[in-house]
Amino acid sequence: MILLDTNALIWLLTEHKRIAKLPKRKHRYFVSPVSLLELRFLNELGRIRFRGGDLDLSHDPRIVVDDPSTVQLFEHAWSINWTRDPFDRLIVAHAILRGWRLATSDANIVSHLGPRATLEL
């Protein structure tokens, strides 16, 4: 199973060439609700824009929004002390909690989790 970091989700939605490293799958990729919140913040800051003004993934057959227990997610995030980015911390915790690889281009995440736990884009 693969959880998409927020950057990977953006690239998937925009069909950026960097998604070529994602395995071609007939089933869907997983996304954390944390990434959806981060996208909302980026939209509010004007760093990204959604077509139609809002992000709606409900009709995208490639994506499943996974919904882990918030308590478990935060318990896993408490031990991640090598990043000060709250979104990264929670997304990494999500991947660890589920035991899934995290597709990301974030060098800090890749260096701390290693190649077995990440798919570097």
Whether pTM exceeds 0.85: yes
**C-alpha span between 110 and 120 (Å, rounded):** 7
Q: Which amino acid is at 50?
A: F
Q: Does pLDDT of 104 surpass 90?
A: yes
Query: What's the mean pLDDT in 93-115?
Result: 96
For position 53, what pLDDT does the model report? 64
Q: Which amino acid is at 66?
A: D
For position 21, what pLDDT does the model report? 87
Domains along the chain?
2-120 (3.40.50.1010)
pLDDT per position as a tens digit, 52-96 = 666 778 888 899 999 999 999 999 999 999 999 999 999 999 999
Tokens of 97: 């909690």
Tokens of 81: 């002390």
